[in-house]
């Protein structure tokens, strides 16, 4: 039996929204699981992937039970600071037209159901703590991670999303973030850096020698991340329209430029072209264009990409010897590839946002939330707004992440035991990434000196 579609539903918009959401989901599982699993030492490959898989599933539960409406629901007591914490499960059953209550007055009608909106925004919520995990790989207690993810997702991510995307106070001021440069990447980078500082560094020998165990696998994860980003930025106009196409093209222009800029700097500074460096440059380009993708023209995208390949390269390679970067053990450098790259893109949006972008891509008219004017086009105030929003998001994430971790530390240790840090996956999960010993059995885990003494004393 055929059921007629409701009058508001546009099949093209709905199909693209679900497809874009799936692309973004693939960035996390398997994309970042594979990337992390390949970039870390062999003994942490399972733990790194498990942090990704757990976060993806747990954020989904937190999102449909509380997080979605905190970020996109009706304002709590009429406030512009918080959505109403309540389940979104009724929205899925109602299958009504998607809306963002506080932002609805400035938005054109959305032509897909609420279920598509909830799922699309979920995959953004899920990838954010997964990016954050890159700062604490190789030492965070998995039980602490299990508690941290839902608390951080609801109390930090959803609040920032409401402020900038749900029609909250930063959006009302006029600050913009096209697809998450601030809400996702600055948030994850700053929170990951703070978490790394609170939890403490890896073992000294791991920090000194953290050779990736499988760079080809890491490259495969990076490739999924790059192409998945077409959904990341291409889905955020909420329509399968010309601005979505421009956002996808801008995303790839900036990413290619950033990868090449990083690669050239590596080659002519260190005389070697590094695959890890190329992956870092790629990520910085993707991150930096994210807040700007639908607001800038092709020249703007190219400028953002070149800057994203140079500035985070300088901070990672030069500032890493300066406090606080030298003191804090940020395992994969998320403060550089996400916080700094996201901040750069958000500020450059304030400079380069082109009010005529929709005319350039063929619509010939403006649309609410898209025609943003940057300093270069006569509106210096947009840069000021972008700077203010950046400082607010940094403060929110730094303070709240610190408080959440201190609260969790009252229940479980934030850091693995020294014995687990020595053994890695075999101790934490009872598994190894590569069973390549003998007939494929897991390799025996050597006892520490203290454990050997205890075993001898016991018999």
- Provide the residue count of the chain: 459
More confident site: 255 or 449: 255
The number of C-alpha atoms within 13 Å of 192 and in the hemisphere containing its C-beta is 30
Domain map (residue ranges) of the chain: 29-102+109-409, 417-432+446-459
Whose CA is closest to 176, among 399, 398, 379, 371?
371
Q: What is the pLDDT of residue 443?
A: 55
How far is residue 73's CA from residue 388's CA, in Å, rounded to a whole number? Answer: 24
Alpha carbons within 13 angstroms on the beta-carbon side of residue 306 total 5
Lowest mean pLDDT among 28-42, 56-70, 320-334, 386-400: 320-334
439 vs 321, residue with greater confidence: 321
387's CB contacts (< 8 A; 6+ apart) are 347, 350
Q: What is the dihedral of CA 34, 39, 42, 46, to 10 degrees?
A: -40
For the record, the structure tokens of 10 come out as 């546009």
Q: How does DSSP classify residue 442?
A: P
Mean of the pLDDT values across residues 234-247?
A: 91
Is the pLDDT assigned to residue 366 strictly greater than 50? no
Range 64-84 average pLDDT:
93
Residue 89: what pLDDT? Answer: 87
| Per-residue confidence (pLDDT) for residue 362, from 0 to 100 | 53
Helix, strand, coil abundance in the chain, percent, nearest 5: 65, 0, 30
180: left (phi over 0), alpha (psi -120 to 50) or beta: left
| pLDDT reported for residue 369 | 47
Q: Is the pLDDT of residue 249 over 50?
A: yes
Q: Which CATH class is domain 29-102+109-409?
A: mainly alpha
Q: Determine the pLDDT at residue 7.
A: 83
Mean pLDDT of 243-253: 95
DSSP 375: G
**For 298-349, how does the pLDDT look when each residue is reduced to its tens digit (9 = 90+)?**
999 999 999 999 999 999 998 878 888 889 999 999 999 999 999 999 999 9
Q: Which residues share a beta bridge with 75?
A: 83
pLDDT value at position 335? 97
Cis, peptide link before residue 30, omega less than 30° from 0: yes
The tokens of 77 are what? 């007591």
Count Cβ neighbours within 10 Å for each residue of 233-250 and write b for 16 or more, e otherwise.
bbbbbbbbbbbbebbbbb
Q: Which pLDDT band, with edges at 50, 70 and 90, does 6 fall under?
A: confident
Please report which confidence band the pLDDT of residue 440 belongs to, taking 50, 70 and 90 as the band edges: very low
Query: Higher model confidence: residue 42 or residue 4?
Result: 42
- Check pLDDT > 50 for residue 118: yes
Q: Which of 269-278, 334-343, 437-446 has the lowest mean pLDDT?
A: 437-446
Q: How confident is the model at residue 414 (pLDDT cuts 50, 70, 90)?
A: very high
pLDDT above 60 for 445? no
What is the predicted pLDDT for the residue at 370? 57
pLDDT above 60 for 438:
no
Q: Are 67 and 118 in contact (CB under 8 A)?
A: no
- The percentage of the chain sitting over the pLDDT mark of 90, rounded to a whole number, equals 77
User: Average pLDDT of 25-49?
Assistant: 96
Distance between CA atoms of residues 73 and 82, nearest Å: 9
Please tell me whether the overall predicted TM-score, pTM, comes out greater than 0.95 for this model.
no
Strand partners, 1: none
State the average pLDDT over residues 150-167.
97
- Please report the pLDDT score of residue 450 as a whole number: 56
The overall average pLDDT reported for the chain is 90
Q: Hey, which residues does 140 pair with through a beta bridge?
A: 415
CA angle 415, 417, 418 (to 5 degrees): 115
The whole-number pLDDT of residue 434 equals: 86
Between the two ends of the chain, the Cα-to-Cα distance in Å is: 73
Alpha-carbon distance of 150 to 324, in angstroms, equals 28
CA-to-CA distance for 15 and 57, rounded, in angstroms? 23
Please give the structure tokens belonging to residue 35.
């990337």
Phi and psi, residue 441, nearest 5°: -75, 160
Contacts of 82 (CB under 8 A, 6+ apart): 70, 75, 76, 159, 162, 168
Handedness of CA 76, 77, 79, 81 (dihedral sign): negative
Residue % of the chain over a pLDDT of 70? 90
Q: How far apart are CA 6 and CA 266, in angstroms?
A: 55
Tell me the mean pLDDT in the region 372-378.
95
Query: What was the pLDDT predicted at 368?
Result: 45
261-265, 353-357, 370-374, 406-410: which range is least confident on average? 370-374
Write out pLDDT tens, residues 90-111. Answer: 866 667 888 887 776 667 788 8
Give the per-residue pLDDT at 453. 55
């Amino acid at each position: 039996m055929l059921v007629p579609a409701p009058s508001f539903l546009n099949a093209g918009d709905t199909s693209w929204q679900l497809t874009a959401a799936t692309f973004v989901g693939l960035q996390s599982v398997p994309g970042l699981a594979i990337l992390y699993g390949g970039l870390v030492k062999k003994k942490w490959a399972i733990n790194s992937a498990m942090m990704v898989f757990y976060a993806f599933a747990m954020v989904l539960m937190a999102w449909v039970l509380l997080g979605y409406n905190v970020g996109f629901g009706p304002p709590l007591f009429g406030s512009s600071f918080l959505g109403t914490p309540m389940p979104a499960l009724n929205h899925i059953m109602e299958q009504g037209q998607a809306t963002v209550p506080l932002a609805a007055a400035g938005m054109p009608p959305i032509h897909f159901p609420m279920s598509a909106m909830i799922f699309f925004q979920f995959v953004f919520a899920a990838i954010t703590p997964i990016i954050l995990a890159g700062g604490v790989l190789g030492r965070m207690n998995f039980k602490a991670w299990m508690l941290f993810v839902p608390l951080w997702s609801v109390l930090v991510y959803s609040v920032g999303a409401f402020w900038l995307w749900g029609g909250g106070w930063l959006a009302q001021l006029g600050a913009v973030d096209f697809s998450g440069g601030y809400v996702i990447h600055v948030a994850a980078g700053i929170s990951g850096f703070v978490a790394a500082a609170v939890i403490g560094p890896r073992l000294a020998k791991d920090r000194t020698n953290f050779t990736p165990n499988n760079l080809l696998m890491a490259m495969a994860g990076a490739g999924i991340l790059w192409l998945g980003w077409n959904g990341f930025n291409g889905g955020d106009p909420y329509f399968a329209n010309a601005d979505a196409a421009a956002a996808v093209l801008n995303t790839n222009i900036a990413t290619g430029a950033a990868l090449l800029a990083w690669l050239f700097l590596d080659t002519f500074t260190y005389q070697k072209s590094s695959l890890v460096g190329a992956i870092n440059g790629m990520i910085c380009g993707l991150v930096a264009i994210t807040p700007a993708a639908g607001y800038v023209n092709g020249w703007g995208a190219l400028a953002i990409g070149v800057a994203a390949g140079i500035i985070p390269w300088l901070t990672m390679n030069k500032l890493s010897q300066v406090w606080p970067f030298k003191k804090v053990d940020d395992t994969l450098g998320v403060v550089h590839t996400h916080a700094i790259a996201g901040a750069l893109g958000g500020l450059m949006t304030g400079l380069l946002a082109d009010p005529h972008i929709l005319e350039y891509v063929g619509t010939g008219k403006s649309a609410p939330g898209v025609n943003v004017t940057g300093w270069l086009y006569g509106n210096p105030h947009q840069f000021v707004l972008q700077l203010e929003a950046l400082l607010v998001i940094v403060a929110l994430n730094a303070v709240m992440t610190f408080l959440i971790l201190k609260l969790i530390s009252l229940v479980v240790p934030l850091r693995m035991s020294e014995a687990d840090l020595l053994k890695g996956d075999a101790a934490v999960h009872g598994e190894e990434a590569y069973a390549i010993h003998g007939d494929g059995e897991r390799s025996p885990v050597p006892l520490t000196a203290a454990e050997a003494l205890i075993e001898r004393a016991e018999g």
